Structure 1
Amino acid sequence: MSVKKTLTALALTLVMPAAALASEGADRLTSLLEPLETLEARFEQLILDGSGERLQQANGQMWLSRPGKFRWEVAAPYQQEVISDGSEVYLYDPDLEQVTVQALDQRVTHTPALLLSGSARELTESYEVTRHQEGGGESFRLVPRSPDTLFEELQMTFRGEQLAALQMIDSTGQETVIEFSDVRTNHAIDDRRFAFQIPEGADVIRDTH
């Protein structure tokens, strides 16, 4: 991805210490995320292998209410739901009639599907953050400080101070790109949206790790 920078910005980058750049990026990302109380959006998700070949494409809708509540619905090509009620996370696969349940702990909230529902300050403390200006938008590169994550790099892109995309790369080089549209923020979302009733007859797997 080519990034255009003005000569002034380039000069500032060259003379500014790395620690100052990291602090500036974390502070700016926090200022964008802290006011976020609720978010609703449609999404398009693309998964690429390490060589750039497309493995999967999906679309759906998501809702979140901070802290800790989240609903992620993949509508096509295969239906799947991830729901957090603030204490537990449910992964429901209707085709398999299977529900996986795990506690909402620090490790789980650092997975891509639930990153945004946590604390902005905890996010910037858990990742090394660098900021890049991109025309009318800006992006943030986050590298985990701990090896206990599902990905090695995360990029968050904002346009007009609104989240526009997430890009994640795991240890195998597999890349997940999620682009958001029809974004609404800080409006009332019924708490029932984040409640999950396990379907009768579904297999339930409880992950205690």
Structure 2
Amino acid sequence: MHLLLKSSVLGLALLCGAVRADGLQALEQFLRGTQSGQTSFTQTVTSPLRQGETVARSKTSSGSFEFLRPDRFRFQYTKPFEQLIVADGQTLWLHDVDLNQVAARKQAEVLGNTPAALIASAPDLKALSAVFTLSNAPDRDGLEWVLATPRGRDAQLQSVQLGFKQGQLAVLDMLDSFGQRSVLRFGAMDVNGRIAAERFRFTPPAGVDVVRQ
């Protein structure tokens, strides 16, 4: 499954101040104030229309997400198929249960300009701005939005939009270079709770094919 669509990372709850924050302020609060989180998610991937099509093709999946900043996270897809993505700080592991296959890549080589960098890696807006051009986007659907555009010319992403509601990251909306859109909607986040480091360690199960890239 396309790694970009699975890289997608993390929602969490942040307290709002007395003054209503815009999207960039909410993102800055998130980057500075959240060290760990756990939540559920639903992801809808919509493909661009092909010639002759009048209705876009879409797929929906769901699961759970955990992260421990600055560089560890775990996506557990449970429906409609089981998949697991684990970043342990050095290696990004993708276990496709149906294919009985594990793909392993150096984490630093694949996360620089992905949504995971927006959520799990950068310590503040200044650091994030080295990889993305950031700006406030118009409010819509009751959310405050940030638009993030990758600076790299070879980026697989066209853009990422982050939607916040009452200080909580509620939606991550990604458009890739092929026109495919992936929208992750997050549930309530357990913020800064204790998560065992073992949750971000992965050992390929016996008998699976391991592909190192």
8 Å Cα contact 1:130/1:142 also seen in 2: yes
Please identify which structure carries the higher helix content: 1
> Which shows bigger deviation, 69-78 or 104-113?
104-113
Q: Structure 2 length normalisation: TM-score?
A: 0.79
Gaps of at least 5 residues in structure 1 are 1-23
8 Å Cα contact 1:70/1:114 also seen in 2: no
Identity percentage over the alignment?
29
What does residue 199 of structure 1 align with?
205
Matching residue within 128, 131, 134 for 2:139? 134
The residue type equivalent to 1:194 in the other structure is F
Tell me, what secondary structure is at the counterpart of 2:111? Answer: helix
What does residue 38 of structure 2 align with?
40
Provide the rounded CA distance (Å) in 1 between the counterparts of 2:123 and 2:164: 15
What does residue 128 of structure 2 align with?
123
Question: Deviations for 1:47-97, whole angstroms, at most 9, x for unmatched residues?
Answer: 111237133110000000001000001101111110011111100001111
Larger relative contact order (CA 8 Å, sep ≥ 6) = 2
Gaps of at least 5 residues in structure 2 are 1-21, 50-54
Compared CA separation, residues 188 and 157, structure 1 to 2 (3 A): same
Q: Which one has a bigger Cα radius of gyration? A: 1
Question: Deviations for 1:3-59, whole angstroms, at most 9, x for unmatched residues?
Answer: xxxxxxxxxxxxxxxxxxxxx975663233221100111000001112371331100
Tell me, what secondary structure is at the counterpart of 1:31? Answer: helix
The Cα of 1:151 is off from its aligned counterpart by 1.0
Aligned length: 184
Matching residue within 176, 180, 189 for 2:182? 176
Provide the rounded CA distance (Å) in 1 between the counterparts of 2:163 and 2:96: 29
What does residue 14 of structure 2 align with?
none
The Cα of 1:159 is off from its aligned counterpart by 0.9
Compared CA separation, residues 115 and 201, structure 1 to 2 (3 A): farther
Tell me, what secondary structure is at the counterpart of 1:62? Answer: strand
